[in-house]
Structure 1
Amino acid sequence: MASSWLFRLLCCLFAMTASTTAADVADKCGQPNATRIILWSIMRSGSSALSRSFLQRSDTKVLFEPFVSVYYLGPEREHPRHTDLPADPQYTYEKMWDQLLNPPGGESVSFAKDFAVTLPRRWWRSKEMAEVKHSFLIRHPEPAMTSMLRACKDPESTGYSYFNETEMGYSELVAMFEYVTKELHQVPPVIDHDDLMKQPEAVLRSFLGHLGLDFDERMLHWTAPLPPHPEIWAGFFENANRSTGFKPTRVERKSTEAPAEIADAIARAMPAYSLLASHRLQM
């Protein structure tokens, strides 16, 4: 009995010296381990559908765009689009991180989807960034930006009346990927919108495996609505709220199909997309 106890102690001590995170130590010592995940994406990438997929898991707390609310609506807001609205003190980066790392329901998994552009770079070197598993969702700029432009020309539905290229966030997404790989020494899974829509089960199985989670059949079809989010953005999520599963969307790839006003923005985003696409999970 004594030798068995000593052996386990030595194993734990070895794990603490060989591991880079507290989570890894917990795994090697046989203790329960919480999984905290952030999915970084660009706008109009199908990330809302993936959030609904994760909502089907009984072990998971889903945070829906926590940093978006801070970026646009909180006292620390960085973007001028909604400065006509008073700053809401409930939206701070510190509070959002706490909800992700310490879900109030005690769930073993918490999953947040957000856009890299909404997290200021001063937060990239925070201890919170090192405590989560990072992942990425990409989409070809042409259909993504065409979809965003369409939403920005529908003020009755979305409240938006102009397209802002910087909000798409391609350059920040690739910068975030490079930071996570080079500074945090993670190998984050990257999934492509088209792959996810065409082969949802295969992509999810691979994606979850890279995150250390088991596949759950319920993730392929959903009934749970999106988590609460500010009402001002309700028009952006009409399709996501009507959906019940992953399905291929109309792909607009020929340059003649994209409105001329976003052609330059698409061209500027292509290098970032191509770099991330070279790292995407292969089915």
Structure 2
Amino acid sequence: MGRVVVLWAAPRSVSTAFEKAFSRRPSTRIVHEPFTDCYYFSENARSRRYGRQPDRLGYGPAAAIDEIYGCAAPLVFVKDLAFQAEPYVPDEFLAAATNTFIVRRPRVVLRSLRGLKPDFTEEEFGFEPLARLLRHVVEDLSQEPVVVEGDRFREAPEVQLRRYCERIGVDFDSRMLSWPDGRIRAWAPHERESQAKWHRTLETSTRIIPPEPAGHVDIRPEEADVVRRAEKVYAELQGYML
């Protein structure tokens, strides 16, 4: 196995499109959200939102790490949501990997997430876990933070990809900017419906789609504190953004 680069994400931050771009890079293998089954289906799951999958009960952190380390390629690019991985990912893995992050303005995330997971928890909103993971990587593991802003990536994909590649020490390839098929991979039966819903826009695309004009997002009373805390995280990460 070669070098491992991880993109830790907040939900709805264009992380899968960023992952798709890296899938087009030669000599690169993609691992898509290996900690999902730990979080939702394992014996130590933190949520049963999607029901039970008996065949995934034994899927724990070791299985997720084995999935990553089992890839044979000069570069292994892993994308996962920080909230799914944070309770499970071992320090030994984090210390050996290049850890990077992607985030988007909380109100934009909120607008997108509501339609897919209207009863999301604060943990699933993802900003606090992302911030804790970044602080751990920076303060305890002495790594330099690399943070992508999702809409900046959509506005200028080549500029952002070139900057990111330079920061992580790999070559940019122009093939990263387009694709004939937007699917990430064939989905397993237990994930097919959910993943198709979450990635519908990407799966019908052939390139990075520019962002829509920013609009007003109403904040419901029960969301106010969650959004306020997320906006503090976003402000904290701005100084690290490409």
Q: TM-score, normalised by structure 1?
A: 0.77
Letter in 2 for 1:272: V
The match for 1:146 is 111
| TM superposition shift of 1:90 | 6.3
Q: Secondary structure at the match of 1:51?
A: helix
Matched, 1:189 2:151: no
What SS does the corresponding residue of 1:36 show, helix, strand or coil?
A: strand
Which structure dedicates a bigger proportion of its chain to helix?
1
Q: Given that residues 165 and 265 in structure 1 are in contact (C-alpha distance below 8 angstroms), is that contact kept between their aligned partners in structure 2? A: yes
**CA drift at 1:101:** 2.5
- The correspondence of residues 103-142 of structure 1 with structure 2, limited to 5 A, is 103=71, 106-121=72-87, 123-125=89-91, 127-142=92-107
The answer to whether the 8 Å contact 2:86/2:133 transfers is: no
Task: Report the equivalent of 1:52.
Answer: 20
Is the 8 Å Cα contact of residues 62 and 227 (structure 1) preserved in structure 2?
A: no
Matched, 1:176 2:136: no
- 1:194-218 Cα offsets, whole Å, 9 max, x none, are 1101111111011011111100000
| Structure 1 residue 34 displacement after superposition | 2.3
**Residue matched to 2:235:** 274
2:59 corresponds to 1:101 = no
Output one character per residue of 1:59-118: Cα deviation in whole Å (capped at 9) or x when no partner: 111011111122112233222313444351463211211222230xx2111011111111
Q: Within 2, Cα distance between the matches of 1:80 and 1:122? A: 16
C-alpha change, 1:246 and 1:90, in structure 2 (3 Å) is: farther
Q: Give SS of 2:138's match.
A: helix
Q: Does the residue aligned with 1:43 lie in a helix, a strand or coil? A: coil
- List gaps (5 residues or longer) in structure 2: none
Q: How many residues align?
A: 236
143-152 vs 257-266, which deviates more?
Answer: 257-266
Distance, in Å, in 2 between the alignment partners of 1:196 and 1:95 is: 32
TM value normalised by structure 2: 0.90
Q: How does 1:248-267 map to 2 (within 5 A)?
A: 248-252=210-214, 254=216, 257-260=217-220, 262-267=223-228
Q: RMSD between aligned alpha carbons?
A: 2.0
Determine the C-alpha separation between the residues in 2 that align with 1:212 and 1:241.
29
Counterpart Cα distance in 2 of 1:133 and 1:222? 25
TM-fit CA distance, 1:179: 0.6
Counterpart of 2:54 in 1: which secondary structure? coil
